Every structure is written in structure tokens, then in C-alpha cells.
Amino acid sequence: MTEEILLNVSGVNKRFGGLQALSDVSLQITKGQIYGLIGPNGAGKTTFFNVITGLYQPDTGSFELAGQPYFPSAPHQVAKAGIARTFQNIRLFGDMTAMENVMVGRHVRTHQGLIGAILRHSAARREEEEIKRRAMDLLDFVGIAPIAHRTARHLSYGDQRRLEIARALATDPKLLALDEPAAGMNPTEKLALRELLVKIQRNGTTILLIEHDVKLMMGLCDRITVLDYGKPIAEGLPSEVKNNPAVIEAYLGGAH
């Protein structure tokens, strides 16, 4: 059976002044994969994320999402197209509850609009109740339903990370792009995160993952691309990537 390509990225280049941040980056992510993007600090991983999610415009490159031409534009349009992301630094609404944060994420899939919200007619009320149910289901899915009504700023670091993922899932993404979700986590929290990502994958969502914890990536990802100075230097199965001489040199230096 032929595997279905969900995201096809070809020939992406991005320059900031005299810095070539991305050089001819191409990759294909198959539907249902956990796909990893790794590399030393400054390798261009987050720049690539910012390009495919519309925060940066590429200088060159072509994109297809689910077999259709796709050009990253405004972030809300990217979310509507089917890509949701989280960031290295947590970006929750700190004074809103966990439930409210997830409900905000669902806004991109609503239909009633501003007038319906103001007039509070029956269709708008039904949609709001459905949004609340969906938000609670997602909080339960990521394991934090008991703290649904606690303000986000008062959640533990690990729970804030889970809340960010729940909010991203509220957009019903085809591709969930996670930028260093394990950053700052202790070993127990990392294990719980790994279990959650596998659960998300089994639930049918494809994941694109940046993470500095190479051990976590090697045990979790189906395929991995390695960037160094903005250029792809390896791509393949984790077992192939970790034994690639160019990857070893990029991380450890030629003497190793």
C-alpha cells in the first residue's frame, strides 16, 4: 500500500541579511508519522517551523499539504489549512482558565461569528456548548481535566505544556508541529510527554517535532531530518541517522 504524503516541502531557502538561515531544505512527512527535526543550536530548526507556519515568508520553496498546493501565510490561515504549532516558550493566556485557553484554540473552527456571539441566538449557544464539550474532552485526553477551571499561570510547568498541546489539538490539525515540548522537563515529565505524543499519533494526528533531547527523539520518531547551519545533512530512520558520520561530526566535532 502506498504511503500518503501529508506535507511535501521542496527547496526552501531563507536569508536574513547576510545570514543564510535555510539552504535548500526539502522533506516529506507521511500521514501518521512522528517526524523529527534535529540539529545543533542555530541549525535553523525553529526558522523552518516559522516558515511552514507563516511567521516567516520563505525566499524560495514549494509546499503541498494533503496533496494540495499550500503557501504559508497568516498564522490563522495556516491553522485553518490544518497545521497547528506550539512554541519553545510557553504562550498561554495566563489569566484565563485551562478550559478557556482550549476554547480559544477552537475559534478557528467556529461558524457563528461575531454577530451570533452578540445576539446569542440558539445556533450560537449550541455551538458554544459544543466548544466547551470539545475543550473538556481535549483536557481529559492530555490528562489535565481535573484542573480545567484553574488559571493557566497557576499550573505546573508540565501541565502548561500539556495545555498548549490541547489548545493546538483544538484546531483539529492534520499536522501538529511541536517546538521543543520537552524543554525544561524532568525525566518523569518527559516520559509522560512521550506517552502523550504516541497517544496523539495513534489517534490519527501526524506530528512534526523539534527537540534537543536526541535520546527522546531516537526512541520516538519514525523518521528524522538533521539540519546543520541551515542545510540538511542527513535524513532517514533514527538508526540510520544516529550512525551517520556527518551527524556525529555536527554534534560532537570531527575528533569524535
- pTM equals 0.89
Q: Is 164 helix (H, G, I), strand (E, B) or coil?
A: helix
pLDDT tens digits for range 195-235? 999 999 999 999 999 998 889 999 999 999 999 999 999 99
Local confidence band at 128 (pLDDT 50, 70, 90 cut-offs): confident
Local confidence band at 255 (pLDDT 50, 70, 90 cut-offs): very low
Q: What domains can you pick out in the chain, each with its CATH number?
A: 1-82+173-256 (3.40.50.300), 88-156 (no CATH)
- CA distances for 37 relative to 25, 96, 135, 188, 206, angstroms: 11, 32, 29, 23, 14
Residue 55 has pLDDT above 50, yes or no: yes
Query: Whose CA is closest to 163, among 174, 175, 153, 173?
Result: 153
Please tell me the least confidently modeled range out of 10-24, 47-61, 114-128: 114-128
Distance CA 74, CA 210 (A): 22
Distance CA 250, CA 241 (A): 12
Handedness of CA 89, 91, 97, 98 (dihedral sign): negative
The percentage of the chain sitting over the pLDDT mark of 70, rounded to a whole number, equals 90
Q: Would you say 225 and 232 are in contact if contact means Cβ atoms under 8 Å apart?
A: yes
